Structure 1
Amino acid sequence: MSSSKNARLVMASIAGVIFGVGLGVAGMTRPSKVLAFLDVAGAWDPSLAFVMIGAIGVHMIAVAVARRRSAPLLAPAFSWPTRTRIDMPLLAGAALFGVGWGLGGFCPGPALTTAASGNLAAIAFVLAMVGGMTMRHLQTRPTKRS
């Protein structure tokens, strides 16, 4: 492995650990916390909204700084999204994400963090998530033509 790939792997690992610790400190690895945020007609807990607002603020600043650069520090070019159209696969995926989040109390980041602690519900969620991602990948894979 080249030193450039090693550097990217180290930086990605550091970012992942910081993200996981942040989720844990904010309590977002506890499904009860997430489900309480979704319970707007009952014992609503708005703390997830504050976590989201903080994350959006940090992301906006990071994107503004990144857009001023010609390339990232550890890659030859940025990989900015090119698709902007709202279509059925996007809407269906968003709906499926929301249903899974509401039923399980997990979204992908907190699920991975919680699964790493051995939580069986989180492990089941991650396995279902990986299964769904695999099925979608197989469904959209280009076919060879003769």
Structure 2
Amino acid sequence: MKLISTFIIGLIFGTGITVGGMANPAKVLNFFDIAGTFDASLLLVMVSALAVTAVGYIFVLKRPHPVFEDVFSLPAAKQIDMPLILGSATFGIGWGITGFCPGGAIPALGLMIPDPLIFVVSMGAGITLAKFLRSKDAFKTTKTHN
């Protein structure tokens, strides 16, 4: 039942992303083009998603545990650190250049065109590289003593 529920939730999410225009890179890039062909409709999509999520969290977190798990899996980190800043910047730059974000690119794979496939493969490579660098402590700073 957990797998069926996950599939249905993913299908609803992907449909919402597609209907909202987030899988269309031209529409996304027009949202970012504030000096040219600006299209504010994606702002409505984002605000709507935020509102639904906020209400959902209020009701869901009142439950003792999720339906198919023993405990909620929520982020524990509260600090703003360099990996968060670099990851956010990389996400924003990639979204601004390509017009795809993971939530829009994955449903766009169903269009059978190369652009979302190239994006998803590149995203996978970036995730793999970031995991490799984190395993090598590349993002951690060490204090040197004189």
TM-score, scaled to structure 1: 0.89
- Structure 2 match to 1:141: 135
Report 1:32-71 matches (<5 A): 32-71=26-65
Residue of structure 1 equivalent to 2:68: 74
Aligned partner letter, 1:107: C
- What's the CA shift for 1:83? 0.2
Which segments of structure 1 move beyond 6 Å, counting only runs of 4 or more? none
SS in 1 for 2:111: coil
Q: Map 1:52-131 onto structure 2 (within 5 A).
A: 52-131=46-125
CA offsets 1:17-67 (integer angstroms, 9 cap, x no match): 111111111122110000000001111100110000000000001111122
Q: Provide structure 1 residue ranges, at least 5 long, that are not aligned to the other structure.
A: 1-6
Distance in 2 of aligned mates of 1:93 and 1:140: 12
Deviation at 1:142, TM superposition (A): 7.3
Number of equivalent positions: 137
Determine the structure 2 residue equivalent to 1:3.
none
Distance in 1, Cα, partners of 2:52 & 2:80: 25
Query: Are 2:28 and 1:31 aligned?
Result: no
Q: TM-score, normalised by structure 2?
A: 0.89
Q: Equivalent pairs: percent with the same residue?
A: 39
